A and B are shown apart, each in its own frame.
Chain A
Amino acid sequence: MPKISVIIPVYNTEQYLSFCLDSILLQSFKDFEVICVNDGSTDKSEKILENYSKFDGRIKYINTSHKGAGGARNEGLKVACGEFITFVDSDDTISPLMLENLYNDILKSNADFAFCNVLCSNEKTGENKIWNLGTDNQNFQNALRICAAKVLIKDIYACISNIVCAKLYKKEFLDNIIFDENTVFEDIPYTTEIYLKANIIAYDKNPYYIYRTGRENSVMNQKNEGYKNIFKMREKQEEIFKKYGKYEEFKEVLLVIKMEDFLTRTISANIETSLEMFEIIKEKFNNFNYSEFDNKKIEKIKNVYAKILKMNNEEFIQYTKRIKAAGVNKNG
């Protein structure tokens, strides 16, 4: 049995896939299996997977009908037999010490999972920037700070930087948590649940995971239908907080995040989708009852919405153009 299962959903990434797999073969930690789930690719990805699996027996691949990254990862989880799990996206790479160091982090701290920082590498501009997953504040300044989940929740923005990658999980801990299928933003409910369920989390501030941005054809850059899933996924996030009895404590934070994200995604989408999403926002917030929320904490976004809800489509489009021009796009 390998110690670590690396699960990689693969969808039409022939340009990047070999670099991803090379980076796993270059790991200092060698006791792993790689489960690549070919999510119905139509390019040369499958051929690359086939050849890598012949090259190194630790690399395996399975084919599935197209389900999106969430469904593909679920397929991988079904067959993974490692004691620990990590997810890597097929257009990213990981630095050679990632598995070893996160593995040691978990062992030392008896954590349910360990996470590290992410280096964003822009394909187009060549710029590299560390995305520190919202762990700006004091609690996270030390490397390998062992945190109880309770402490972490006080710094909720760390858990709202939703990325299922750059983490190493105990398989046992993940047990019944699965991804939503056939949607994007499936990482939102997934990361929410792991943070709420965990007792101990280990944090390593080194940016071991290299996230490729600025890609032409990435799923996230298709400003289309998929963006509408943000409504469902943010609402699911709230449900999970309720499930773990944490909703009351964080309801304002969640409302603000939800409202900001709805707006951000709506603004970034193409015009047609943007207007559809604007309709949905109007449906949800025209008669929204804010009385149960502490007004001070939600005032800012509430006022923005008040302004927007009065706009007609024309005005809204103008508004989105102004915002885009100002370059304000937090989650983009």
Chain B
Amino acid sequence: MVKISVVIPIYNSEEYLRKCLDSIIYQTYENLEIICVNDGSTDGSAEILKEYENKDKRIKVYTKENTGLSDTRNHGLDKAEGDYVSFIDSDDWVSLTLFDDFVKILNQLNQNIDIYNFNAYAIKENENKIFTDVFFNIRDIRNHESVYTIHTLKDFKRPFSGNFGVYNKIYGTDFLKSNNIWFPSRLIFEDQAFYTECFIKAKSIIVNDKPYYAYIKRTKANIMGNLSNKTFDILKIIDIIDKTIKGSEYYEYLKYALLQHKYTNLSYFFFETADEKKDEFYGEMKKVLLETKNENFDENIASKLRGYPIYKDVLALNGNEFFEKYKDKIIKER
């Protein structure tokens, strides 16, 4: 019988942790190992975890020093012994038939798969208004006949758009470990790197457009904390993504999407960077984009990319000029 490891990283999650854990322990599919990794929380999370550990034998709690989300998930992944592994954020909750429906599909397919990509609701909760949008539309996937259709990255029409979430996928544990896919330690935006490595290496991806996950965008501070001091991580993440793609069979296929990903992310986070660091960030950003000149892009194709003028302007302008030109546009677009 298929065993699923559920890895839950926890950092000061006392407000929502019970609901998250309840949505796992009350899954209709029961063959789970529930790996909770406490990333050095300073609130009541530890007490709640102890309570649940006593309540349900499937729960194992590990505590570590606070070193961030990537290390915490890696810690859980390292301990995972199930056939498949799922990562759930501690302030979200999942539909109670998530794993049951997944196993049913596996049994029908009668083969192992590398990644199961299901849909999620993105919920914005502020001033008591709720908006729910699903993460993706099945029409964004080519050749999709049913949830049993085996896909690879080439079937995703916009491989670099909106599907980075770590939590709306279930991964083959062996697939991750044998390909040495881990979360980049001490970096945020880790989901982009993880997603890229997974989808580049995956030989079999199945897609279910039904939503099983409630991803709640909270307005209060979360694991990411104050972003303005950490934006430099995006440079490292982009470097990882760049190397991963260039070292794969997908480079030609993803060349333009990768370029677009670089300039949109870098320009966005330039504006998120603390003012006193903006110049330094811009310098680094410009270096990265200057390097792309070696890739021989076809101007006819590249110029059709959304936001392409931004790329051109980074190459041509200095930090202040770029800031003045785009300061009102970029934030709106996001």
Residues on A facing B (Cβ under 8 Å): 14, 17-19, 22, 26-28, 44, 47-48, 51-52, 54-55, 95-97, 126
Q: B residues within 8 Å of A by Cβ? A: 22-23, 26-28, 95-97, 100, 121, 123, 128-132, 138, 210-212, 214
Given A51-B26, A55-B23, A96-B132: A22 in contact with B95 (beta carbons within 8 A) = yes
Q: Looking at the assembled complex, report how far the CB atom of B299 sits from the nearest CB atom of chain A, in whole angstroms.
A: 38
Nearest opposing residue in chain B for A30, CB measure = B128
Question: Taking CB as reference atom, which chain A residue is nearest B123?
Answer: A26
Inter-chain contact B28/A55, CB cutoff 8 Å: no
CB pairs A–B below 8 angstroms (17 shown): A18-B95, A19-B210, A22-B95, A26-B121, A26-B130, A26-B132, A26-B214, A28-B130, A44-B100, A48-B96, A48-B97, A52-B26, A52-B96, A55-B22, A55-B26, A55-B96, A97-B130
Q: Complex: how many Å from CA A270 to CA B189?
A: 58
**Contact call B28/A44, Cβ cutoff below 8 A:** yes
Count of A-B residue pairs with CB < 8 Å: 46
A residues within 8 A CB of B132? 26, 95-96
| Residues of chain B lying within 8 A (CB to CB) of residue A52 | 26, 96
Report if A48-B130 is in contact (Cβ < 8 Å); known contacts: A26-B121, A55-B96: no
With A28-B128, A48-B97 given, name 16 new contacts (CB 8 A).
Answer: A19-B95, A22-B95, A26-B130, A26-B132, A27-B130, A28-B129, A28-B130, A48-B96, A51-B26, A52-B26, A55-B23, A55-B26, A96-B130, A96-B131, A97-B130, A126-B138
Q: Which residues of A contact B27 (CB under 8 A)?
A: 51
Central interface residue in B96, B100, B211, by most chain A CB within 10 Å? B96
Task: Write the chain A residue with the least CB distance to B96.
Answer: A51
Closest partner residue, chain B, to A14 (CB atom): B97
In the complex, which of the residues A19, A26, A51, A126 contacts B28, with contact meaning CB atoms closer than 8 Å?
A: A51
Q: In the assembled complex, how far is the CB of residue B207 from the closest CB belonging to chain A, in whole angstroms?
A: 13
The 10 A-B pairs at the shortest CB distance, nearest first, are namely A18-B97, A28-B130, A51-B26, A96-B130, A55-B26, A18-B95, A51-B96, A22-B95, A54-B26, A55-B22
What A residues does B23 contact at CB under 8 A? Answer: 55
What A residues does B212 contact at CB under 8 A? 18
Beta-carbon nearest neighbor of A52 in chain B = B96
Contact of A18 among B22, B96, B121, B214 (CB under 8 A): B96
Q: How far is the CB of A124 from chain B (nearest CB, A)?
A: 11
Chain B's closest residue to A28 (CB) is B130
Is there contact, CB below 8 Å, between A47 and B214? no
Closest to A23 in B: B132
- Residues on the B chain within 8 Å of A18, using CB: 95-97, 212
Q: How far is the CB of B13 from chain A (nearest CB, A)?
A: 18
Closest A-chain residue to B27, C-beta based? A51
CA distance A52 to B25 in the complex (A): 11
Instruction: Give B126 Cβ to nearest chain A Cβ, in Å.
Output: 11
Chain B residues near A97: list those with CB within 8 A.
Answer: 130
A48 to B26, CA, bound (A): 9
Complex alpha-carbon distance, A8 and B130, angstroms: 23
Q: CB-nearest residue of chain A relative to B22?
A: A55
Quick one: closest A residue to B97, CB to CB?
A: A18
- Shortest distance in angstroms between B294's beta carbon and chain A's nearest beta carbon? 43
A17→B28 CA distance, assembly (Å): 12
Looking at the assembled complex, report how far the CB atom of B124 sits from the nearest CB atom of chain A, in whole angstroms: 11
